[in-house]
Structure 1
């Protein structure tokens, strides 16, 4: 099994993706089903650190119809789905309906906690990472939930991530979605549209993994739609 995990890591790495940890579902947990329809025993999270998948995605995108909806989700599904088929797993996505417990799975797999922006804070990548899918196996793999990771937000006194947005999109009350959306779409939202969320960019952690402006602009355009 350990060899299979290494092979999965290599298969994902060919597309700029990485394994983000995993765990075995405890007996009695209502786990989703695997490839055959039987209940899954293990899950491996798949995602990215920084913008490593971006050039792979762009090469794929050039060959697709321009009107394709949610191209990054579509690309992720194809890549992760191909890996799942090769290794006898079921591929699932954060956008699948009904929604699966991806945030909880990610917390268990890597021991992470949310930042004030809701994005899980990673001790190495900061806020510049993402989960693109998961592989569900009906066998018990040699993986286990991670111990709690260092939570960098605990020692961050200034909290610049809560002070950089002119409409205070993030606060103790949560995310002001409508205010953020109106601002990004409006005349004063150009810095956000072209360079990404000002609050997210203000975080001092993991800056070497920060998405380039064109990647942030792509995600912001998706948000505006």
Structure 2
């Protein structure tokens, strides 16, 4: 299997490979595997597809995670790999470090991950470790390196990222009350401010859904 074939198989499930890397043979988490792929929603098609799925239409708890678990597990089985998820634990899998290992995700000025194509709309629905070592596309530099204005730094109405540690309470309080940047209806203002995010195709309805879940459940 080559990377193009793998991408088509993933895309058929409305997922995208946001990055991949070859694990260190001495990595105890991924011993015996040749390649790890990190999976995100395939934008902009994902959300309209997801709304037709039983997890969403059946109003099950945590429908996005439940869909991800079902689909990524089935995909891993078809590919002969091992699935991993960012929402199962503790212990939790090191998705942040895995993302950095791909060379396509980087720390942003507000310490959220930024991706060469997704910008600040980095979202992992799961990962699959494959036994074979697949040739991968080259790493990509951080888009922040050529972003002169860095609008993500000033976009948050309560400067929730100013200290380098995300101020969850300040964020939740402002979107629950005045919501001056329409974060609840359009998605996080800081993420939207990224010029790369703006070109990514993430639907505002999808971002709004996740912001409502964050507000209601503290997730």
TM-score, normalised via structure 1 length? 0.83
In structure 1, what is the Cα distance between the partners aligned to 2:14 and 2:208?
20
Cα RMSD after superposing both structures = 2.4
| 2:4 aligned with 1:10 | no
**Matching residue of 1:222:** 213
For 1:109 and 1:168, the matched residues in 2 are separated by 29
Runs (5+) with no aligned partner, structure 2? none
CA distance in 1, matches of 2:65, 2:105: 23
| Number of equivalenced pairs | 215
Helix, strand or coil for the counterpart of 2:93?
coil
State how far apart, in whole Å, the 1-side matches of 2:57 and 2:184 are: 24
Map 1:71-220 to 2 at 5 A.
71-97=63-89, 98-137=91-130, 139-143=131-135, 146-147=138-139, 149-188=140-179, 191-220=182-211
Q: Where does the alignment leave 5 or more consecutive residues of structure 1 unmatched? A: 34-38
Shift of 1:81: 0.9
Quote the Cα distance in structure 2 between the aligned partners of 1:218 and 1:157.
31
- Give the TM-score taking structure 2 as reference length: 0.85
Higher Cα radius of gyration = 1
How far has the Cα of 1:22 moved from its partner?
A: 2.2
Higher relative contact order (CA 8 A, sep 6+): 1
Q: Could you tell me which residue of structure 2 aligns to residue 36 of structure 1?
A: none
Kindly tell me: are residues 122 and 173 of structure 1, through their superposed partners in 2, closer, same or farther at Cα, counting changes over 3 Å?
Answer: closer
Which residue does 1:21 correspond to in 2?
Answer: 19
